[in-house]
Amino acid sequence: MSHAHLDQLIANAVAEGLLPPESTRPPEELRPWPVILLTALGAWLAAIPLISIFFLALNGVLRHGVGPFVVGIPFLLGAVLLLRKRDLPLFVEQLLVPAFLSAMVILAWGMFEQIQHNAAAALFGILACAVAAAVDRRWLRVLLGALACAMWMFTLMPKYGFHHGGTYWLALHAALLLWIAVTLRARAALPHALAIGWGAAVLAGLAMYAGMTFLAGGQVGDSQGELWRIPPQPWDSVVRAGSVLMTAAGAAWIVRRWPSQRTAWNAAAMLVLLGLAWLMPSLGGALLILAVSAGTRGWRLAGAAGMAAAWIIGAFYYQAAFPLQTKAVWLIVAGALLAAIARFGWHGPQSVPTPPAVPRRDPLVWGIALCALAVLAVANIGIWQKEALIAEGRPIFVELAPVDPRSLMQGDYMALRYRSLPDVLRKEPDLPVSGRPHVIARIDARGIATLVRMDAGKPLAPGELSIELTHSNSGWELASDAWYFREGEGERWARAKYAEFRVDRAGHALLVGMRGPALETL
C-alpha cells in the first residue's frame, strides 16, 4: 500500500470519528527489529549495574527524611526531559528507561514512608498521570495508566486491603467504572493510552480476585489464591448481584452498538452468562470490559478481557463454597448450552447463494487434530509409565506421622507427613539447587522403610534403597504429600499407619495406597 493511499485512509477514518483528529501515519522504522532488540538489551545491561552503584552510593540519603525526594525528583525530571526528545538514539532511550523506573521507585518509597497510605497512593497516581502527559511514548503511557489504576485502588482501600474481599471488590469495580467513563469519552492520544493500561490493570485485578486457575495453584503453592475470600452475607449477595448487573450492562451495550445482535439466540446466551456471573463475582467485570472494548473497537484489550474471563472461569474450580461435583455439572451444562447456541443459533450474514466450493483442507483443523493427538500421546505415555511402575516396582511401606483428614473442594484428602523424613532433611540443609535429591531408606523383612540419610552418591549397603524426593508446597516429600479419596470415607483412612509405595530401580516412587498398623489393607 502506498503512503498516499494510507494517508487517505487515515483521513477518512478521522472524518468518520474512528480515529483521533491528530492521527498520522507512523514513521517508517528503517532499522531491523533484531538490531532494535539487541540495542535495547545492551542498554539495559549497561544501565542496571550503573543504577545499582548509584543506589549503593546514596543508600544512607535514601533512608532518611526527605532524602528520597531530594534524589528522586531531579532524577525523574532529567529522565523525562530526555525522553521527550523525538530524535533520541535508541540506545540512549533504552538507557533512560531503567533510570526513569528507578526514579519512580525512589519517589514511591519516599511517599509511602513519609505520608499516610491513602494520601501517598493518590499523590503517586497523580504523578504517574502527569509523567504520562509529559512523555510522548505510547507504550510508557500504557504502563503508567496501569500504575495509576493500582494507585487509585490503593487510595480507596485500607492498608493491606487486598485481604478484605468486599473492600477490594469495591475498589476494583470503582476503577472499572472510571475506566468506562474515560474510554467512552477519550479522543486524544493521552487518555486513550492511559485507558488501555488502566483497563489492563483492572483485568489483572479481576483475575487476582478470582484466585488460581487451571490447576496452577498446585504448581505455585496456592490452591485457593491469596485474594479470594468468600465475603460474609450480605456482601456475598452484593458482589454476585454486581457481577450480574455488569454482565447485563455489557449485553445492553453490545446490542446498542450492533442492533443485528438482538436475537432470541443471543438472549439465551446472555442468560447463560448471567448465571455464570452470579457464580463468579469477578466475571461480570471482565465481560463488561470485553463488551465495551469490542464496541469501541479496542480489539487488543477485548482479547485481554477474553483471556481474563477464561482465567476466572477456570478459577471457579477452586471455590470451596460448592462441592466439586456440583461445580462440574454447572460448567458442563453451561458449556453445552453455549455450544448449542453457537451451533444452531448463529447462521452468519445472509447473502445470495453461491455454487458449492471445492472442499479444501483447512490448516486450522489439521492443527487442532495434531494438538489433540499430542495431548493424548503425552497423557497415555504418563499412564503407561505409572502402570509399569505399579506392576514392576518394589513395594515398600513408610511410617506416617499423625494424619489429618479434611474436606475441601477436591473431594476429601488426607495430608501426609512421613515420620523420619524431617529428621533426615534437617541433617542435610544444603540440598542440590538443580535436580531432585534422593534419600536412602533401610528396608526390613516386612518391607517397612526407615529413612536414614540423604543419598551422597556412595554405594548402597545391603537392604538399602535410594528414593527420589518430590518438591511440594511444604518442601521435599516422598512422591506425594496427600492421599485423595471419595467424600465420606475419612473415618476409613484415618486409621492409616503406613503409606504404600512402588519404587523402581531409578528411585522413582509412586504412592499407591494406605496400610493399617499391621500392614493390613484399609
Residues 490 and 389: beta-carbon distance below 8 Å = no
pLDDT attached to residue 221: 43
Chain center to CA of 181: 26
Residue 59, Cβ neighbours under 10 Å: how many? 10
- Read off the DSSP letter of residue 346: -
Residue 351: predicted pLDDT: 46
The pLDDT of residue 224: 42
* pLDDT of res. 304: 92
Strand-pairing partners, residue 521, are: 515
| 399: β partners | 498
List the one residue out of 285, 310, 514 whose CA is nearest residue 415. 514
Q: What is the DSSP string of 358-408?
A: PP---HHHHHHHHHHHHHHHHHHHHHHHHHHHHHHSEEEEEEBPPPEEEEE
Q: Where are the alpha helices (DSSP H) in 186-215?
A: 189-210
Query: In the block, which residue shows the cell 502527559?
Result: 133
DSSP tag of 317? G
How far is it, in rounded angstroms, from Cα 228 to Cα 169?
Answer: 10
Residue bearing cell 470451596: 320
pLDDT at residue 30, as a whole number:
56
d(CA 339, CA 346): 11
Domain boundaries, the chain: 391-515
Query: Which has the closest alpha carbon to 99: 132, 50, 36?
Result: 50
Q: Which residues pair with 451 in a beta bridge?
A: 441
DSSP output for 256-283: HH-GGG-SHHHHHHHHHHHHHHHH-TTH
CB 199 within 8 A of CB 312: no
Tens digit of each residue's pLDDT (9 = 90 or more) over 107-158: 888 888 888 888 888 898 898 888 888 888 788 888 899 999 999 988 888 7
Residues 471-516 have pLDDT tens digits of: 776 677 887 777 777 666 777 777 888 888 888 888 888 888 888 8
Q: What is the pLDDT of residue 350?
A: 46
**Strands ordered across the beta sheet of 404-408:** 404-408, 411-415, 482-485
Residues (pLDDT < 70) of the chain are 1-3, 6, 17-20, 22-33, 59-64, 159-166, 214-235, 320-321, 346-368, 375, 378-379, 382, 402-413, 429-435, 473-474, 486-488
Half-sphere exposure of 394 (CA within 13 A, CB side): 21
* Residues composing the chain: 522
